[in-house]
Every structure is written in C-alpha cells, then in structure tokens.
C-alpha cells in the first residue's frame, strides 16, 4: 500500500463524506415519493422518505471504505468531527437566514423555508447521525476481526444495514414524533411514521447492497487488497 495512494484516498474519502453529509442536511426538508410496481405492507406502492436519504446513504459508503483502509480509530475521528461540523453548518446557514437581505436577493422567506430545517428535524438528524455512524464503524471492525479480514462484502452490508436501521428509527421517531410532541408541535400519525421509516430504510438497504462492488473497487484502487477484499489498515 503506497503512501501516495493512502494519502489520496484519505483526502478523497473525507471529502466525499463531508460533501454527502452537508448535502443531506440541506436537502432534508424535501419529502420524496418513489412509485414502485408492487404494493408492499405499510408503504403500499409508494416509498416516501426525506430528501436526505439519498445523500446520507452515501456517507456509509465513505466510512466503510475509510474504515477498511485506515482503521477503526481514524474512522471514528472522521465521524465525530463530522458531527461537530453539523453545528458549524447550522450556525452558518441560520446566520445567513437572519442577516438582512438586499433588494436584489431571492425571496428571504423562500430561502429560509428551503434551507432552514425545523428544530425537531435537526434534533432527530443529529442524534441519529452520531449513534448510527459510530455503530457502523464498531460493527464493521467487529466483523473484520471475527472473519480475520475476509468477506468485505459481509461487513459492508451488515454494518451499513444495521446502522441504517438505527438511523431510520431515531431520525423518524425523534424528528417527526418525539421532538414535535415535546415542543408542542404536531407529531405525525403512527401510520405515516411507519410508512416514512419503512420507505427510507428499503432505499437505504438497496443502496447498501448496490454499493458493495464499489467498496471493493475503492479498496482495491487505494489499498493493498487481495481477492477476498482484505486490506491492512493503519491504526
């Protein structure tokens, strides 16, 4: 594993992680609806999810690649620094929203609506992020140790699949039910909460399955990996 490829991979994966994380925060307020050819329990023929689901799923690809190449502790540092940077993002966005607008500016109300997530959504997002991302790194490396570095596909799918389940439950539960209830807002009905949670989890799980070949490709390109997908991380 050359020092140059490791250095390039480190910068590229951190950049991908931060870009996807920021995009997820800025797109969370839009609710997506994907129509599918079959009718599923709870969701029916439409998968409903926050706009952040697409970008946020990509952060798990970045952390799994980073974990495989650089080790558990560096990956946890990236995750926890990313958590802190969420607050920097919120301060910058809200300071811009609250600053006076020029006459030539876009409509300040529309700007605030698009970029200003509600307090409950932000709270749910931050709690879900710090718990699920750390779980993802821990499970990834627990499976790596148990399999003696083999079966990269197993730890990629298992760590991402379980952490996405935790993320979905916490985000939907806190952002759309617990926080609105505590803050005196309007919590969504249980049926809508279930549909929202199931819809986004199905999408996230599909992404976890589809991105496995790309994890192998990234590890093979940036690191010293064998046919089983093992790499020797630097801790």
Predicted confidence (pLDDT) at residue 235 exceeds the cutoff of 50: no
**Dihedral of alpha carbons 25, 15, 87, 182, sign:** positive
Average pLDDT over every residue of 23-37: 83
Among the listed residues 93, 73, 111, the one whose alpha carbon sits nearest the alpha carbon of residue 23: 93
pLDDT at 117: 64
More reliable by pLDDT, 104 or 208: 104
Instruction: Give start and end residues of each alpha helix (H) in 37-106.
Output: 52-70, 72-98
Q: Please state the domain extents for the chain.
A: 3-222
For the record, the structure tokens of 70 come out as: 């650089």
- Is residue 132 within 8 Å of 167, Cβ to Cβ? yes
- Is residue 190 within 8 Å of 42, Cβ to Cβ? no
- Record the pTM: 0.79
Predicted confidence (pLDDT) at residue 57 exceeds the cutoff of 50: yes
Among the listed residues 222, 227, 213, the one whose alpha carbon sits nearest the alpha carbon of residue 68: 222
The torsion region of residue 39 among left (phi > 0), alpha (psi -120 to 50) and beta comes to beta
CA angle 57, 62, 65 (to 5 degrees): 130
When mean pLDDT is compared across 19-33, 114-128, 152-166, the lowest value belongs to 114-128
Mean pLDDT rounded to a whole number for the chain: 84
Predicted confidence (pLDDT) at residue 231 exceeds the cutoff of 50: no
């Amino acid at each position: 594993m050359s020092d140059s490829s490791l250095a390039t991979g480190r910068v590229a994966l951190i950049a991908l992680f931060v870009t996807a994380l920021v995009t997820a925060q800025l797109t969370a307020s839009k609710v997506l609806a994907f129509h599918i050819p079959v009718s599923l329990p709870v969701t029916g023929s439409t998968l409903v999810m926050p706009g952040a689901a697409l970008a946020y799923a990509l952060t798990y690809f970045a952390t799994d690649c980073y974990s495989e190449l650089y080790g558990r502790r560096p990956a946890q540092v990236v995750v926890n620094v990313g958590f802190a940077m969420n607050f920097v993002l919120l301060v910058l966005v809200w300071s811009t929203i609250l600053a006076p607008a020029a006459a030539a500016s876009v409509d300040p109300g529309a700007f605030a609506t698009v970029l200003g997530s509600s307090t409950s959504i932000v709270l749910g997002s931050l709690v879900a992020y710090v718990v699920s991302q750390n779980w993802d790194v821990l499970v990834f490396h627990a499976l790596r140790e148990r399999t003696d570095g083999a079966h990269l596909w197993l730890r990629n799918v298992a760590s991402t699949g379980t952490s996405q389940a935790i993320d979905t439950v916490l985000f939907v539960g806190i952002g759309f039910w617990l926080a609105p209830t505590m803050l005196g807002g309007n919590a969504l009905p249980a049926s809508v909460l279930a549909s929202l949670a199931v819809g986004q989890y199905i999408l996230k799980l599909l992404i976890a399955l589809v991105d496995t070949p790309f994890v192998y490709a990234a590890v093979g390109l940036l690191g010293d990996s064998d046919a089983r997908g093992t790499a020797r991380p630097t801790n």
